[in-house]
Structure 1
């Protein structure tokens, strides 16, 4: 064989889609199987590229706690997948200690939740559960399917000039992943052949004319300036639809979920497993119960190049896992990627992995003895989240109703866009703590809300230690920037929702509000300022984003370019919720799956272009 031919074959082996160079070398390594990494790894394999998908947790897809969406409260509390991050909401320790669900370790696997801990209790903080399992947090959430606002996609265009992110272009990503099961076939806004089932809630309760629940529904529709009182009209709008100016429409909707018509949860785990079992034998390898400890680099190139990852194998190795045994370790080894390493560990773990690998703020890394590969000060910064809050009370008699869901704009909103996603019904949800929620009985009535477009992204994810099994220090710094504006919007929303309750009439009234304005609604003396202060301390969240944010070339805090490439190094990308430059809409899970589809398109097109260029050069 000629030297030239040998060179051609060697180069081809490095770029060919399905060639595995050795037992531990793949074209791509994807770290994390959640809404970002799971679909991406499956798409790469289906495009013919050998792909290793690494997941720290196990597979709970056959466990009814996870597979049946109705069990989501149990799923989020379940130790089989739960990772507990204990976070702060502010730099004010006294304020955080006033959070009603501050959690303390009382030993032996028990907790105290509240503001008057017993002697000897160890402060943990505010619980922020994540899911360490195949499919990631899509496996333990409430399954709400909601879309980003157009401005969330256009933000990338404005920062980078990459017009492929323009909002009119991205509907195709929803259509590519969606298997819609609630709209008639052929609706141009939806997809029907994807891997993600979508369905809607049962609103038959709204047909009960003049019931207390329907009276509240009708009053809320009036407050949102909807003229019709017909429930078929009120719930007839498609919450995932694509009408003109959709982000400015205040309306009641039928809540959509990423589940099928039988209530079975639909997640990236399903796509992963179907890819693995497909008769086409796509080159996807799944490695579970494996903790990635760092990215490996070749530092001899002009820019450091990611060439693989170091892994530690074993179950419950990460200390966020309540099943973790102190001191437990696993065998350490390395696996390699001939093309790229893609980090999809989520908003907390992706910046942690980058920093452990030497990519992050120089001073932070050097203080922990980590060799700096690339000084990238934005890694772990700009942490943002939707503020979540609720108004809850006890009715005189139970209200027969399901969920009244609405996306709407408060009159004092900072922009013309909708800023509140709310849902009201006979339930209780007040945030996260071990064993949540509190069950107040049959008479409980709540309106929960998610604040869309939070204006403060001042949080951070920073290393406590250089130990990859340790959890990072997480501080959201709620309301630090423009906090009074966001709080005023939450208060305005609460006042409007409370007004709808007064329409319930007999036998539901009077309603004793528990918070934010304790007492009989309509009579309790509670100012807007009092409510704002309540939310300042008691707001919670579950939609963290933006710690490895896409940004402009000129921005020293930008971590990624518009193609998800980590700046200043080669062969390394981040594809998950941490990539969003701002919090996308009310529930980031489906937007992040769409983002994953976009990343798949970008990465596969780039790889095939490189392959085609190489083929042409050697023809």
Structure 2
């Protein structure tokens, strides 16, 4: 450790959904000096703050890591493009802004796996603490928190027709997917405020701008954690001005996400010993589970050509309409740029014997010829998409470094579509989407199915099409699994097993993936991590103040 290293109480690596929450809360009292490191730039790109602007940053290397998976054996050895935020706010600055928590049973299952304090009753207060719900507070929602949650910002007749068509198939209406029950069909809510994206950076770093004790260092890519024995004491990071080292007097919190957190731990000597030794990395702690247990939702999609120019395709294919939409947004904060095009959806069970939904049907007001790292290309005609997302896949993948260089992408493997259940669930969703599209509510609009098209009919046809077009749903979790046992990476207080002064707080700690979008749960994890750290400070002070014989003072 360099003698001139900057010293802070806490260092947080990664200013994403969870990292911003951790840093914001730790710095709130003004008592602690906090350093937040972010590899990407500040969130000054205007397309970040316009909700529909995420299409512009989907393949923008300035704010996006643009990861690519290894060839997936069950998907005809295709690689899967993985956009991840590399900017203040992380992926919450480039995602679709949908606010979703999953089901209560998701978190109760974590508790049953040995993660004490992570059952629904214990995580709900942190969801509520984070939230400023447009509809007001109740037993399930909070108001006054930093994260604005709002209703659909723009009326889309086609979205309403999709919702009505889902109801015509027998799916009940649900006014709140984060309410008493998840099952049903309805409109989503979004992390948007005043028709602008409300990322984790806006929520937690905006109010902290005047805090001298919070130092936000962008373009500062964490390279490795520095140890003294088995205690984490600092972070080496790379800036445009060269390498630097910061020292943490209390703790370091790793918040790099499901890809970045296991990568940083492995680069620092925490992970599978054989992998690290093969790359010439000194082993600090042999934890086989670092980088394992990768999970993500899996989806395919059906697209339908319609007979009216009322979709986002019509804006994407017309310079005039783009200009008019831009003018409308700038001067009135209305119109199609106020949303992300995914307004309605449904949660259903692929098997009625299941207790909770295992499929999410996204109803999108656009369709594409391709969505790859080269960009999003809309069809040259009006169309919409129905996408079944398998929420509880059984496949388990991994994240493993391939070199000792932090700038090199790690190997990412999902193992999607691995089991018979994985296949049967997505097949059920595909058939259901076709049923929805055939309902009376959509007959005034639908001209034809363009993807995959009527040629696909049998289950064998559907499976082959899914192997060719199915994708991971950009909700990676699980690679620094919380729990007990040989393969667990962190304990229920998010402390890395066998290492002092080091925690992980982001989606990577999830022992199993939740049934829904993962941004809101990641923010909750950041909130809960900060609360546990501050609680430990209070406990530590109380223990330090107690007399040597252990008796309480008056």
The alpha-carbon deviation at position 467 of structure 1 amounts to 1.4
2-structure distance, mates of 1:583, 1:437? 27
In structure 1, the residue matched to 2:141 is 190
In structure 2, the residue matched to 1:476 is 414
1-structure distance, mates of 2:481, 2:503? 11
Paired residue for 1:43, among 25, 47, 50?
25
Question: Is contact 1:88–1:477 with CA below 8 Å preserved after alignment?
Answer: no
Question: Is contact 2:100–2:520 with CA below 8 Å preserved after alignment?
Answer: yes
Corresponding residue SS for 1:312: strand
Query: Runs ≥4 in structure 1, deviation > 6 angstroms?
Result: 399-402
1-structure distance, mates of 2:299, 2:148? 26
- Residue 388 (structure 1) aligned with residue 325 (structure 2): no
Larger RCO (alpha carbons 8 Å, 6+ apart): 2
In structure 2, the residue matched to 1:95 is 76
2-structure distance, mates of 1:367, 1:30? 29
The aligned runs of 1:370-449 (5 Å cut-off) are 370-397=281-308, 405-412=344-351, 415-428=354-367, 432-449=371-388
- Residue 461 (structure 1) aligned with residue 399 (structure 2): yes
The alpha-carbon distance between structure 1 residues 270 and 507, as it changes in their structure 2 partners (threshold 3 A), is closer
- Residue 579 (structure 1) aligned with residue 509 (structure 2): yes
2-structure distance, mates of 1:570, 1:580? 21
In structure 1, the residue matched to 2:479 is 547
The alpha-carbon deviation at position 90 of structure 1 amounts to 1.9
1-structure distance, mates of 2:64, 2:356? 35
The alpha-carbon distance between structure 1 residues 595 and 429, as it changes in their structure 2 partners (threshold 3 A), is farther
The alpha-carbon deviation at position 196 of structure 1 amounts to 0.6
The aligned runs of 1:350-361 (5 Å cut-off) are 350-361=261-272
2-structure distance, mates of 1:91, 1:178? 41
The alpha-carbon deviation at position 151 of structure 1 amounts to 2.6
**What is the TM-score normalised by the length of structure 2?**
0.87
The alpha-carbon deviation at position 403 of structure 1 amounts to 5.7
In structure 2, the residue matched to 1:131 is 85
The alpha-carbon deviation at position 407 of structure 1 amounts to 2.9
Question: Is contact 1:86–1:127 with CA below 8 Å preserved after alignment?
Answer: yes
In structure 2, the residue matched to 1:313 is 239
The aligned runs of 1:271-350 (5 Å cut-off) are 271-278=203-210, 281=211, 283-299=213-229, 304-314=230-240, 331-350=242-261
1:555-605 alpha-carbon deviations (Å, 9 max, x no partner): 211111111011111111110110101112221110110111111111110
In structure 2, the residue matched to 1:9 is none
RMSD: 2.5
In structure 2, the residue matched to 1:514 is 451
The alpha-carbon deviation at position 617 of structure 1 amounts to 4.5
1:177-200 alpha-carbon deviations (Å, 9 max, x no partner): 11122x1x3433222111111112
Question: Is contact 2:64–2:85 with CA below 8 Å preserved after alignment?
Answer: yes
The alpha-carbon distance between structure 1 residues 498 and 385, as it changes in their structure 2 partners (threshold 3 A), is same
The alpha-carbon distance between structure 1 residues 53 and 343, as it changes in their structure 2 partners (threshold 3 A), is same
- Residue 256 (structure 1) aligned with residue 189 (structure 2): yes
The aligned runs of 1:57-72 (5 Å cut-off) are 57-60=40-43, 62-72=44-54
1-structure distance, mates of 2:115, 2:411? 34
The alpha-carbon distance between structure 1 residues 502 and 603, as it changes in their structure 2 partners (threshold 3 A), is same
The alpha-carbon deviation at position 399 of structure 1 amounts to 6.4
2-structure distance, mates of 1:126, 1:569? 34
1:261-318 alpha-carbon deviations (Å, 9 max, x no partner): x22111121234334324xx3621111111111111111xxxx11011111212xxxx
Number of aligned residues: 516
Corresponding residue SS for 2:192: coil
Question: Is contact 2:51–2:197 with CA below 8 Å preserved after alignment?
Answer: yes
1-structure distance, mates of 2:275, 2:404? 10
2-structure distance, mates of 1:214, 1:604? 46
- Residue 179 (structure 1) aligned with residue 117 (structure 2): no
The aligned runs of 1:182-261 (5 Å cut-off) are 183=135, 185-202=136-153, 204-205=155-156, 216-226=162-172, 234=173, 237-241=175-179, 243=180, 246-247=181-182, 249=183, 251-260=184-193
**What is the TM-score normalised by the length of structure 1?**
0.78
Structure exhibiting the larger radius of gyration computed from Cα positions: 1
